[in-house]
């Protein structure tokens, strides 16, 4: 799949939710895209006959007029790719870090995904002190580039798991890990996942706030 611009990814998510039937406010809530932006996109697609918007009372109900329209079909495929990243963000982060030669190790709730098979669409990762700022920049640019909002406060994801992804980098002196090969959720690619050892995880999570520990089982808390 070729990379698209931010508006294309944003529009794909709007069309995908509209395809399932929703309101403008409902689309904004499910995607995390600002209401004015959703409204503008909905009416732009209505002008070309892809979407039908019907106002009933104070709400505007939205539906796709033709699911087989080539614009709709292409955007639904893009939305599937984006959704796979929303629900499997740690492998997306791992691939970005590998591309940019950033050493890392999954800790906390991300480590538990591979050691205890408890999956959450959150990322907690340890990186060397010297790469901490760059790692955060790579994460922000990567997720923003496909229209996904991230936060370092896990409380913001409660009730918003499909629109806001919690991603937190913890700076440490040394990063030690074991490697595991996993299949990317968004493609047939294999990616090497680095899972922290006990010392790396301890050093990382000691810097975490009470909020950072919200989704880490007590037996794993440091």
Residue 79: which of 139, 148, 144 has the closest Cα?
148
Place 4 in a pLDDT band, splitting at 50, 70 and 90.
very low
CA 165/CA 206 separation, integer angstroms: 22
Residues 66 and 95 placed together within one structural domain of the fold: no
Residues 159 and 95 placed together within one structural domain of the fold: yes
CA 167/CA 138 separation, integer angstroms: 12
Residues 10 and 65 placed together within one structural domain of the fold: yes
Structure confidence by residue, pLDDT tens digits, 121-178: 899 999 999 999 999 999 999 998 888 889 999 999 888 877 889 999 999 999 999 9
Residues 64 and 142 placed together within one structural domain of the fold: no
pLDDT at 191 over 60: yes
Residues 116 and 147 placed together within one structural domain of the fold: yes
Structure confidence by residue, pLDDT tens digits, 26-40: 999 888 889 999 999
Structure confidence by residue, pLDDT tens digits, 58-105: 999 999 999 999 989 999 988 888 888 898 899 999 999 999 999 999
User: What CA–CA distances, in Å, run from 186 to 74, 106, 182, 211?
Assistant: 16, 19, 12, 29
Residue 182: which of 101, 129, 137, 115 has the closest Cα?
115
Residue 180: inside a domain, yes or no? yes
Dihedral of alpha carbons 176, 180, 181, 183, sign: negative
CA 204/CA 198 separation, integer angstroms: 10
Residues 195 and 98 placed together within one structural domain of the fold: yes
Q: Among the three residues 83, 103, 129, which one is the final residue of a domain in this structure?
A: 83
Residues 54 and 95 placed together within one structural domain of the fold: no
Partners of 55 in beta bridges: 60
Residues 112 and 193 placed together within one structural domain of the fold: yes
Residues 125 and 139 placed together within one structural domain of the fold: yes
Residue 61: inside a domain, yes or no? yes
pLDDT at 1 over 60: no
Provide the domain limits for residue 206: 87-220
pLDDT at 57 over 80: yes
CA 64/CA 97 separation, integer angstroms: 38
| Angle (CA) 190 195 197, round 5° | 155
**Beta-sheet strands, E only, within 122-215:** 122-128, 149-151, 164-172, 177-183, 190-196
Residue 173: inside a domain, yes or no? yes
Average pLDDT, the chain: 89
Residue 1: inside a domain, yes or no? no
8 Å CB contact between 177 and 213: no
Percent of the chain residues past pLDDT 90, beyond the cut: 59
**Predicted local distance difference test score (pLDDT) of residue 27:** 94
**Predicted local distance difference test score (pLDDT) of residue 179:** 94
Residue 51: inside a domain, yes or no? yes
pLDDT at 188 over 80: no
| Helix-strand-coil split of the chain, %, nearest 5 | 45, 20, 30
Q: How many domains does the chain have?
A: 2
Place 5 in a pLDDT band, splitting at 50, 70 and 90.
very low
Q: Which two tokens stand for residue 93?
A: 């982060």
Place 220 in a pLDDT band, splitting at 50, 70 and 90.
low
**Predicted local distance difference test score (pLDDT) of residue 219:** 55
Residue 214: inside a domain, yes or no? yes
CA 150/CA 130 separation, integer angstroms: 22
């Amino acid at each position: 799949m070729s990379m698209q611009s931010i508006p294309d990814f944003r529009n794909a998510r709007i069309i995908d939710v509209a395809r399932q039937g929703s309101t403008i406010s409902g689309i904004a809530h499910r995607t995390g895209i600002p209401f004015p932006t959703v409204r503008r996109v909905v009416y732009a697609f209505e002008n070309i006959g892809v979407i039908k918007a019907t106002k009933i009372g104070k709400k505007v109900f939205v539906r796709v007029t033709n699911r087989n329209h080539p614009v709709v079909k292409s955007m639904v495929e893009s939305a599937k790719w984006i959704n796979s990243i929303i629900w499997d963000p740690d492998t997306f982060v791992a691939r970005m870090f590998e591309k940019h030669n950033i050493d890392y190790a999954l800790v906390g709730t991300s480590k538990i995904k591979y050691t205890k098979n408890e999956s959450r669409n959150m990322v907690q990762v340890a990186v060397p002190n010297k790469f901490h700022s760059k790692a955060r920049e790579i994460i922000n640019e990567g997720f923003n580039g496909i229209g996904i909002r991230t936060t370092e406060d896990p409380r913001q994801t409660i009730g918003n798991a499909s629109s806001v992804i919690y991603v937190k980098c913890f700076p440490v002196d040394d990063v030690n890990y074991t490697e595991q090969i996993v299949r990317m959720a968004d493609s047939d690619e294999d990616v090497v996942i680095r899972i922290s050892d006990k010392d790396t995880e301890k050093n990382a999570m000691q810097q975490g706030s009470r909020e950072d520990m919200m989704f880490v089982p007590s037996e794993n808390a440091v």
